[in-house]
Amino acid sequence: MSRLDDIPSSPGKFKMEKSSYLHRLRFQSSLTKFAFFSFFLLCLISLLFLRSPPSINPSSPSDPSRRSLRTNSYGGPAWEKRLRSSARIRTSTTNGITVLVTGAAGFVGTHVSAALKRRGDGVIGLDNFNDYYDPSLKRARQALLERSGIFIVEGDINDVELLRKLFKIVSFTHVMHLAAQAGVRYAMENPSSYVHSNIAGFVNLLEICKSVNPQPAIVWASSSSVYGLNTKVPFSEKDKTDQPASLYAATKKAGEEIAHTYNHIYGLSLTGLRFFTVYGPWGRPDMAYFFFTKDILKGKSISIFESANHGTVARDFTYIDDIVKGCLAALDTAEKSTGSGGKKRGPAQLRVFNLGNTSPVPVSDLVRILERQLKVKAKKNLIKMPRNGDVPFTHANISLAQRELGYKPTTDLQTGLKKFVRWYLSYYSGEKKAAAR
């Protein structure tokens, strides 16, 4: 008997009609929100296909044609041999996995790939080596991984034929999807690159994964940016994420909705990781800690943002080694996908975790630590935070990751920055010596 059958026809008729009316109102409100988000997502995707590329110098880093589908020629016996060698599991345990790491020449991708290889897993990287920031740093990371026996295929996640070939040659048990257009502020200059990589590229990868047999389990990088303009702290996975402050955040939020769709329809096992301000050696030059270091050493002034009413801007800085541990734990606890031949055979795992440090630090404190490590006084310029997609603070609640993944960050900002500065001085002094020769 349904719950409706328990309602008397009289004298409670008025109460039932009122309850039904309120239910309809709530349903209509939910339907309106869903329709709005769906329309927003369609608009984002339309940007990719309908927006004409800007008329710019083809050598400019903002040229979309240079930021995508930069796939070199691939195939042939030698190429396939390198793939199989890199994908070979070399651990004596029965728990070894074979992982495709997209964005393998990126900051997090390099560290995750190296950690997987160290423990004996099979690893193949994929990266398009775009020029959002200095490609020479990505090439240096590539050389580092190649010395460990990791082959990075130069290609784009939007290249369907390349992905099909990779999955035909190697039976991947897992995909660590880290390829994305990063950066909050750059979205104001080149919005289509975010739709191309973070939405179209993700969908393309999921289309391939849902079609292969067996389907791999997928762990992918979402972002703490999805919390947007939320004011309740610390940020929890249970919080609403419907107020993105940037296009980057909106594309990552869209990614989480897309992941839900492919999990629901095709049985793909999907785990999203919301990273909180990752820093450390081999980091990204567009991050504040990195370009602050560069400018302080050059004697240039650095701009430090203040929030409204001279408020403090703070970030939940998370050291790269802690992030890697979280990534590996997510891979190790990922359940198998349940689809076959593009059809769902049963319920599949769908998860989202915060990976942060739980200790927000004011950016002004970050600068003081860098001054001590570099032994140079910074020339500081305090300015009001512009409306460019940045948010005043981030703070992760990691209780779910602690419980489900055993995630426990151990590196404080002072220790982590000390390691970064040591790497930075070594890497760039070596670069100058090489240029002088």
Give me the pLDDT at residue 41, please: 54
Token pair recorded at residue 266: 């095709």
Q: What is the mean pLDDT of residues 135-152?
A: 98
Cα 430 to Cα 272: distance, rounded to the nearest angstrom: 37
Query: 435: pLDDT confidence band, cut at 50, 70 and 90?
Result: very low
* Residue 271 exposure: Cα atoms within 13 Å on the Cβ side: 29
Give me the pLDDT at residue 75, please: 83
Cα 153 to Cα 135: distance, rounded to the nearest angstrom: 15
CA distances from 202 to 149, 195, 287 (A): 27, 10, 24
What is the helix, strand, coil percentage profile of the chain, to 5? Answer: 50, 15, 35
Q: Report whether pLDDT(411) > 50.
A: yes
Percent of the chain past pLDDT 70, that is, above it, reads: 80
Higher per-residue pLDDT: 388 or 334? 334
Nearest Cα to Cα of residue 150 among 83, 201, 218, 196: 83
Q: Average pLDDT over the chain, rounded to whole?
A: 85
Token pair recorded at residue 423: 């790497």
Give me the pLDDT at residue 92, please: 73
Q: What is the mean pLDDT of residues 161-180?
A: 98
Give me the pLDDT at residue 384, please: 83
Q: Which of 85-94, 197-206, 369-378, 420-429 has the lowest mean pLDDT?
A: 85-94
Given the residues 186, 227, 248, 266, select the one marked as catalytic: 248
Sign of CA dihedral 388, 394, 400, 402: positive
Token pair recorded at residue 119: 């423990």
DSSP-derived letter for residue 311 is B
CA distances from 437 to 325, 429, 432, 434 (A): 39, 13, 9, 5
Percent of the chain past pLDDT 90, that is, above it, reads: 72
H or E stretch including 140?
A: helix 135-146
Q: What is the mean pLDDT of residues 342-365?
A: 95
Query: 59: pLDDT confidence band, cut at 50, 70 and 90?
Result: very low
Residue 128 one-letter amino acid: N
Q: pLDDT tens digits, residue range 73-99?
A: 678 999 999 999 999 999 776 689 999
Give me the pLDDT at residue 22, please: 42
Q: Report whether pLDDT(424) > 80.
A: yes
Active-site residue, 21 included: no
Nearest Cα to Cα of residue 88 among 178, 170, 154, 175: 170
Give me the pLDDT at residue 219, please: 98
Asked whether 390 and 248 are in contact (CB, 8 A), the reply is: no
Cα 355 to Cα 224: distance, rounded to the nearest angstrom: 9
DSSP-derived letter for residue 51 is S
Q: Which of 160-164, 254-258, 313-317 has the lowest mean pLDDT?
A: 313-317
DSSP-derived letter for residue 94 is T
* Residue 179 exposure: Cα atoms within 13 Å on the Cβ side: 34
Q: pLDDT tens digits, residue range 365-399?
A: 999 999 999 999 999 998 887 765 577 889 999 99
Asked whether 391 and 311 are in contact (CB, 8 A), the reply is: no
Higher per-residue pLDDT: 95 or 45? 95
Q: What is the mean pLDDT of residues 106-135?
A: 97
Query: What pTM value is reported for the model?
Result: 0.84
